[in-house]
Homo-oligomer: A and B are copies of this chain.
Amino acid sequence: MVKILIIDDHPLVCDGIKTMLKDESSMKVVNASKTATEALFFLTTNQPDIILLDISLPDMNGLELCEKIRTISKTVKIIGLTSTNEAGIITGLLQRGGNGYLLKNMERNELIEAIHTVLKEKVFLSRAANDKILEQFQSRTAAEETYLLTRREKEILQLLANGLTGPQISEKLFLSPLTVETHRKNLFKKFKVHSIQLLLKVARDSSLI
């Protein structure tokens, strides 16, 4: 009997998962915790095989909780659940000992498949999660390839975004003000702008700052 712990503060999600699993005679939802604290307490006396873990909980970040659970149990399989498909969260979860990732708009068969996969010591990523990681990688790469900022340019850009003036940046980085000017002009050329305000606007819109 596969024992499943749900950690999610949305009753809809918990009820939905129970409904999806009710015909799986080999699987049983043993608890549904609404908070990280509740879950951790439950885990002091219980050992589920699978944890379905919402990434955004009221009292703790899901990634943080994943890490804590992993120190408590090396063997429990942790599948992340979230509404939004973000590459950073996916990789963050896997780096903290997570075994899989599902979006809340999953279908029943996908949930079942995820559980079977992680029980076989494999990592499960939904197709959407896979696509998102790839897309994000390509997108960031494209953005970085579009502008190809050097190390110094990135640094100057960030300091400009923080509101520093050219002279202030030259003082901070121990450079000649004229050097900072040159970097600024190089940034203008790369971003095809003619003012610091527009430079910051485009950079912000491109998620570079």
Contact = CB atoms under 8 A, between A and B. Distances in A.
A40 interface: no
A154 to B, nearest CB: 17
A9 interface: yes
A11 interface: yes
Nearest to A110: B11
Copies of this chain held together in the complex? 2
Contacts of A11: 16, 20, 105-108
A127 to B, nearest CB: 15
A196 interface: yes
B198 A105 contact: no
Given A163-B195, A195-B163, A196-B197, A16 B12 contact: yes
- Number of chain A interface residues as a range: 20 to 34
A19 interface: yes
Contacts of A14: 16
A83 interface: yes
A160 interface: yes
Interface of A: 9-20, 83, 104-108, 160, 162-163, 165, 195-198, 200-201
22 contacts: A9-B105, A10-B16, A10-B83, A11-B16, A11-B106, A12-B12, A12-B13, A12-B20, A12-B105, A12-B106, A13-B16, A13-B104, A14-B16, A15-B19, A15-B20, A16-B16, A83-B83, A162-B201, A163-B195, A163-B201, A165-B195, A165-B197
